[in-house]
Chain A
Amino acid sequence: MAFIELDHVSFQYPSAPTAALDDVALAVHEGERVAIVGANGSGKTTLARLLNALYLPTGGRVRIAGMDSSDLSQHRAIRQLVGMVFQNPEDQLVAAVVEEDVAFGLENLGLPAAQMRPRVDALLQAFDLWDHRLRPPFMLSMGQMQRLALAGVLAVQPRVIVFDETTAMLDPAGRRTVLARIDELHRAGTTIISITHFMGEAARAERVIVLSHGRVALDGPPVEVFSDPQRLHALGLHLPPAAALARSLRPVLPGLPPDLLNTTDLLEALPVCPNPVAVAPEAESAPQTAPRADVIRVVGLGHIYLKGTPLAHRALGNANLRVGLGEVHGLAGATGSGKSTLLQHLNGLLFPQEGQVTVGPHHLHEAGADRYAARRLAGLAFQNPEVQLFETFVGDEIAYGPRQSGLDRPAVREAVRWAMERVGLGFEAFKDRRSFALSGGEQKKVALASILARRPEILLLDEPLAGLDPRSRDELLVTLRALVDLGLTLVVSSHQMDDLAGLVDDATLMSGGWDVLNGPAAMVFEREEELLASGLEAPVAARAALELRRKGWPLPPGLVTPEKLLAALRRP
């Protein structure tokens, strides 16, 4: 008998017009590793919450180890068997002190303190939290909180762990750590069910379930699920980046086996060059464009948060940045590298404590600099801007900025219309819709439009692509390219180099509060070692190019996107 059984399960939220899950039948066996993927709104999180009786099905039955989840008396036993790790670790840390948070589940089970203590202590040691055991959880770093969240779930020794987009907001180093822990748990026999937007991660599972509009669209081993890109695309998904690259390389490297899904396999499978040329060709000279005038110049910037309190910490020390007019500049960096702090200096939200910041004509380090004018010149969109909406109607939301600038009614209307069209929201269709009733993706568009409506000449975007499903990600990239064509200068921060490589002209690699590397994107994204040391990963195309060159292929440097790599391989 399967460990978890869903028998024609449906689920409908009380206020929703349609069912979130519709007649889902599934069985998960003990020890399996399952990935659940699907576009936003396909029902993944709803499904996860049915697995440990957080939600009860409105139709059909969910059985966990034979226990029916609609039987309230079984809930405690079910939740001990099925642990759940949420996306944001802060949301699941409950206790006032780290060690008590690890013990929270055990306390609820009614275990005596003498039995709890050794388990809690062992977990604190294993997760490198021993020195912090008496601190309040909010004083931990993001990575520590993530470990604490997992330790708290493992304390009750569940047989199944559901990871609900646990890795969505993590940088590559953080993700590698979590994935390594998942591998370990799985080897030890724990059943793993992970929900993810990263197809590369899904490919690590033994079985991938694709949800679409509340139904199971595909269910099978990764090789099978990822065999048809067209079908995936129709479901709002993508191939894993390595698989997509392998597929596009196969015409020029016919020896490449089919069904390559992850980067390691792809790199191994890349063939050695049949007729190696002794001398690698020179880099093709980039078409000379006139040097761009600097619109942003940061020199020796330093910043300490909560200066003079016990919580003081340095976020920036000697950071430098130059961005040319009309350029798309990438800020690459892991969590805590200082890229958000740097961005907030560029529109005058933070004042330079050390060093100089010049944006357009504004010298923000000088007393009397007009920060309000700098904010108008450079619009900043924070990560998850949709949580900042406050007006009832979309039109009013977007009009807020222009109204603050004191424009008259027709001008405000024009600014709103312009901004909405830029992000792909029809003016007439959306201006009178209620902001809070929109989908997550539409809310993100409204938030972006509300910044564009002030007609900034520079757009600063903090992790705009983090946490997006593949389809929304593609749409946003199209919007951003269109803005560049209009002449806007863009500064985009990200910890996903694959996202940046195809978008930016130049890039700055941030680590530990300063700029480790500065230069053309083709140069920065090729520096595998520096990227790895900074907690990041080179784009998969760049890694393939480096590997091919090691294997004797005469490739020029700077091949950081699949298109460039393919073009170079096609050249005779």
Chain B
Amino acid sequence: MSEFEYLRNLPFGQVVPGDSPVHRLDSRARILAFTILLAAILFTPHPLGLVFGLVVIAGGLRLAGLPLGYALRSLLSPLPFLIILALLQVFFNAQADTGLVLLRLGPVLITPADLLVGGMLLLRFAGLVLGISFASQVLSTSELTHGMESLFRPLERVRLPVHDGVMALVVAVRFLPFLAQSAERIAKAQAARGAEWTRPASGRNPFTRLWARARALLPLLVPVFVTSLRRAETMALAMDARGYASRAHPTALVEMRFTPRDGLAVGLALILAAVVLFL
């Protein structure tokens, strides 16, 4: 593998096009439903509710015609951290002991309550990761931004620049792959001039080492900033040239239609969320 392929680290091509009942929903309905369900999973105090939440997400994936395996794979990379976190919870749970001790490891007592807390942490994170992975498979950047713009539009009445904010978000997303590419190009160019930031810096004390490492990054950071700024300036000019004006009310090519079915979906999400929260 090349040491320079930064593009590899960006999440790409995650949206899976389809024509399922989930895909056919208005993007705002999808955003609302996901937000409601994920919030419920995040805040529920009930283990059974969590299990139910996972079942709901698995059911949603099925309904959308997405393979469960693909979503589960997104769990793989954070899994070690989750397990460590869960173990920490098990060992250092501060909740009052109920008296029953399952295991005694030196000064550490492990009670059923400890296991429950650790297990819930695992389930909660699994639910969130699966839910976010699900959302990113059925919501494109464009749907997300248009949906958010429409949902936040009421805030324009209190003079919040919603359209500009969303446009900034779109441009930021457009910039990500560019940043990765230009960092890659510049890192290569500096490597060709003898930069060796993959090699460990040497020095007598840790402070000089840290300083040396920070300095070694300078050849990369300065040109990335300069090109990005230059680029941003040209893009702003191009947007101006194409008639973008921040105070105008532009129309949108993709029209959104909120049908009763979408309302139904959001209602269903609310009911399911209530079950997750209060089961």
Task: Report A's interface with B, CB cutoff 8 A.
Answer: 49, 52, 54, 75-76, 79-80, 83-84, 86, 88, 90-97, 99-100, 103-113, 116-117, 120, 134, 136-139, 152-153, 156, 305-307, 309-311, 344, 347, 349-351, 372, 375-376, 379-382, 385, 387-390, 400-401, 404-405, 436, 450-451, 454
Further pairs besides A109-B250, A305-B5, A390-B223: 15, Cβ < 8 Å: A54-B241, A84-B238, A92-B235, A94-B238, A96-B140, A96-B170, A108-B250, A110-B249, A113-B254, A120-B253, A136-B174, A400-B193, A400-B194, A401-B194, A404-B194
Residue B251 CB within 8 A of the other chain = yes
CB-CB under 8 A from B243, the residues of chain A are 76, 79-80, 105, 108-109, 156
Chain B nearest CB, measured from A154 CB (Å): 11
CB-CB under 8 A from A105, the residues of chain B are 242-243
Contact A96 B173 (CB under 8 A): yes
Known A79-B242, A108-B243; contact A116-B251, beta-carbon cutoff 8 A: yes
Specify the chain B residue showing the minimal Cβ separation from A153.
B242
Residue B178 CB within 8 A of the other chain = yes
Could you give, for residues 227-270 of chain B, a 1 whenever the CB lies within 8 Å of some chain A CB and a 0 otherwise? 10001001101111111110011111111000000000000000
How many positions in chain B have a CB within 8 Å of any CB in the partner chain?
58
Residue B20 CB within 8 A of the other chain = no
Contact A344 B188 (CB under 8 A): yes
Residue B94 CB within 8 A of the other chain = no
Chain B nearest CB, measured from A477 CB (Å): 22
CB-CB under 8 A from B192, the residues of chain A are 347, 349, 375, 379-382, 451
Taken together as a complex, chains A and B put the C-alpha atoms of A75 and B254 apart, in Å, by 26
Known A79-B240, A95-B170; contact A107-B252, beta-carbon cutoff 8 A: yes
Taken together as a complex, chains A and B put the C-alpha atoms of A344 and B2 apart, in Å, by 11
Contact A100 B253 (CB under 8 A): yes
Taken together as a complex, chains A and B put the C-alpha atoms of A113 and B146 apart, in Å, by 14
Taken together as a complex, chains A and B put the C-alpha atoms of A108 and B164 apart, in Å, by 13
Contact B140 A405 (CB under 8 A): no
Taken together as a complex, chains A and B put the C-alpha atoms of A52 and B241 apart, in Å, by 7
Interface centre among B185, B227, B238 (most CB of A within 10 A): B238
Specify the chain B residue showing the minimal Cβ separation from A453.
B193
From the candidates A134, A311, A390, A401, name the one contacting B218 in the complex (CB within 8 A). Answer: A390
Specify the chain A residue showing the minimal Cβ separation from B239.
A94
Contact B239 A385 (CB under 8 A): no
Known A94-B174, A107-B253, A306-B8; contact A389-B223, beta-carbon cutoff 8 A: yes
CB-CB under 8 A from A96, the residues of chain B are 140-142, 145, 170, 173-174
Known A54-B241, A104-B242, A107-B250; contact A382-B188, beta-carbon cutoff 8 A: yes
Chain B nearest CB, measured from A240 CB (Å): 29
Taken together as a complex, chains A and B put the C-alpha atoms of A49 and B233 apart, in Å, by 13
Chain B nearest CB, measured from A543 CB (Å): 35
Known A137-B174, A138-B174, A382-B188; contact A92-B242, beta-carbon cutoff 8 A: yes
CB-CB under 8 A from B255, the residues of chain A are 113
Specify the chain B residue showing the minimal Cβ separation from A104.
B242
Contact A401 B241 (CB under 8 A): no
From the candidates A84, A309, A388, name the one contacting B189 in the complex (CB within 8 A). Answer: A388
Specify the chain B residue showing the minimal Cβ separation from A388.
B189
Which residues 1-24 in B have Cβ within 8 Å of A in the complex?
A: 1-2, 4-5, 7-8, 12-13, 17
From the candidates B4, B142, B190, name the one contacting A100 in the complex (CB within 8 A). Answer: B142
CB-CB under 8 A from A100, the residues of chain B are 142, 253-254
Known A108-B242, A350-B2; contact A95-B194, beta-carbon cutoff 8 A: no
Known A108-B244, A347-B192, A388-B190; contact A310-B13, beta-carbon cutoff 8 A: yes
CB-CB under 8 A from A305, the residues of chain B are 5
From the candidates A54, A109, A388, name the one contacting B223 in the complex (CB within 8 A). Answer: A388
Contact B241 A83 (CB under 8 A): yes
Could you give, for residues 183-198 of chain B, a 1 whenever the CB lies within 8 Å of some chain A CB and a 0 otherwise? 0011011111111100
CB-CB under 8 A from A306, the residues of chain B are 5, 7-8
Nearest first, the 4 closest Cβ-Cβ pairs linking A and B are A404-B194, A390-B222, A92-B238, A103-B253
CB-CB under 8 A from A112, the residues of chain B are 251
Specify the chain A residue showing the minimal Cβ separation from B145.
A96
Residue B203 CB within 8 A of the other chain = no
Could you give, for residues 127-167 of chain B, a 1 whenever the CB lies within 8 Å of some chain A CB and a 0 otherwise? 00000000000001110010000000000000000000000
Contact A388 B242 (CB under 8 A): no
Taken together as a complex, chains A and B put the C-alpha atoms of A99 and B226 apart, in Å, by 30
Which residues 171-227 in B have Cβ within 8 Å of A in the complex?
A: 171, 173-174, 177-178, 185-186, 188-196, 218-223, 226-227
Taken together as a complex, chains A and B put the C-alpha atoms of A381 and B193 apart, in Å, by 9
Taken together as a complex, chains A and B put the C-alpha atoms of A399 and B227 apart, in Å, by 22
Taken together as a complex, chains A and B put the C-alpha atoms of A454 and B243 apart, in Å, by 48
Contact B223 A76 (CB under 8 A): no
Contact B242 A97 (CB under 8 A): no
Contact B227 A387 (CB under 8 A): yes
Contact A94 B173 (CB under 8 A): no
Taken together as a complex, chains A and B put the C-alpha atoms of A344 and B226 apart, in Å, by 24
Chain A nearest CB, measured from B55 CB (Å): 30
Taken together as a complex, chains A and B put the C-alpha atoms of A193 and B242 apart, in Å, by 17
Contact B12 A309 (CB under 8 A): yes
Known A54-B241, A79-B241; contact A404-B196, beta-carbon cutoff 8 A: yes
